[in-house]
Structure 1
Amino acid sequence: MGIFPGIILIFLRVKFATAAVIVNMRVHRISGLEARAMEKIKSNRERAEKSRKREHQKSATVSHEMSGLNWKPFVYGGLASIVAEFGTFPVDLTKTRLQVQGQSIDVRFKEIKYRGMFHALFRIYKEEGVLALYSGIAPALLRQASYGTIKIGIYQSLKRLFVERLEDETLLINMICGVVSGVISSTIANPTDVLKIRMQAQGSLFQGSMIGSFIDIYQQEGTRGLWRGVVPTAQRAAIVVGVELPVYDITKKHLILSGMMGDTILTHFVSSFTCGLAGALASNPVDVVRTRMMNQRAIVGHVDVYKGTLDGILKMWKHEGFFALYKGFWPNWLRLGPWNIIFFITYEQLKRLQI
Structure 2
Amino acid sequence: MGLSDWRPFIYGGLASCVAEFGTFPIDTSKTRLQIQGQKVDIKHAKLKYRGMLDCLLKIIKYEGLPALYAGIWPAVLRQSTYGTIKFGTYYCLKDFFVKHYGRESVQLNVLCAVIAGSFSSAIANPTDVLKVRMQVEGTTGNISLFACFKNVYYQEGISGLWRGVSPTAQRAALIAAVELPVYDFCKSHLMIYLGNNISNHFISSFTAGFASALASTPIDVVRTRLMNQRKLKYCEQRIPAHLYAGTLDCFVQTFKNEGIWAFYKGFVPTLFRMGPWNIIFFVTYEQLKRIY
Shorter-normalised TM range: over 0.9
Q: Distance in 1 between matches of 2:146 and 2:135?
A: 16
The answer as to whether partners of 2:67 and 2:138 remain within 8 angstroms in 1 is yes
Q: Distance in 2 between matches of 1:310 and 1:254?
A: 39
Displacement of 1:306 after TM fit? Answer: 2.0
Other-structure match for 2:269: 331
What is the percent sequence identity of the aligned residues? 57
Query: What pairs with 1:230-245 in structure 2 (closer than 5 Å)?
Result: 230-245=165-180
In the alignment, residue 323 of structure 1 is paired with which amino acid?
W
Q: Distance in 2 between matches of 1:242 and 1:307?
A: 28
Q: How many residues are aligned here?
A: 286
The answer as to whether partners of 1:280 and 1:336 remain within 8 angstroms in 2 is yes
Q: Distance in 1 between matches of 2:60 and 2:143?
A: 21
Q: Distance in 2 between matches of 1:291 and 1:313?
A: 12
The answer as to whether partners of 1:286 and 1:309 remain within 8 angstroms in 2 is no
Q: Distance in 2 between matches of 1:305 and 1:179?
A: 29
Other-structure match for 1:313: 251
Other-structure match for 1:85: 20
Displacement of 1:192 after TM fit? Answer: 0.5
Other-structure match for 2:201: 268
Instruction: Select the structure with the greater relative contact order (CA < 8 A; seq sep ≥ 6).
Output: 2
Displacement of 1:119 after TM fit? Answer: 0.5
> Based on CA coordinates, which of the two structures has the bigger radius of gyration?
1
Query: What pairs with 1:1-355 in structure 2 (closer than 5 Å)?
Result: 65-66=1-2, 70-164=5-99, 168-256=103-191, 259-299=192-232, 300=234, 301-354=239-292
TM-score of the aligned structures, taking structure 2 as reference length: 0.95
The structure with the greater share of residues assigned to helix is 1
- 3-state DSSP of counterpart to 1:152: helix
Query: CA offsets, 1:214-243, max 9 Å, x none?
Result: 122112211110000000000100100111
Displacement of 1:212 after TM fit? Answer: 2.7
Query: CA offsets, 1:108-135, max 9 Å, x none?
Result: 1111110000011111001111101111
In the alignment, residue 309 of structure 1 is paired with which amino acid?
T
Alignment root-mean-square deviation, CA? 1.4
The answer as to whether partners of 1:81 and 1:144 remain within 8 angstroms in 2 is yes
In the alignment, residue 58 of structure 2 is paired with which amino acid?
R
Query: CA offsets, 1:38-82, max 9 Å, x none?
Result: xxxxxxxxxxxxxxxxxxxxxxxxxxx338x52100000000000
Displacement of 1:205 after TM fit? Answer: 2.1
Displacement of 1:302 after TM fit? Answer: 4.0
Q: Distance in 1 between matches of 2:219 and 2:82?
A: 18
Q: Distance in 2 between matches of 1:308 and 1:241?
A: 23
Q: Distance in 2 between matches of 1:122 and 1:208?
A: 22
- 3-state DSSP of counterpart to 2:139: helix
The answer as to whether partners of 2:187 and 2:204 remain within 8 angstroms in 1 is yes
- 3-state DSSP of counterpart to 1:163: helix
- 3-state DSSP of counterpart to 1:183: helix
In the alignment, residue 171 of structure 2 is paired with which amino acid?
R
In the alignment, residue 278 of structure 1 is paired with which amino acid?
A
Question: Structure 1: where are the runs of 5+ without partners?
Answer: 1-64
The answer as to whether partners of 2:134 and 2:148 remain within 8 angstroms in 1 is no
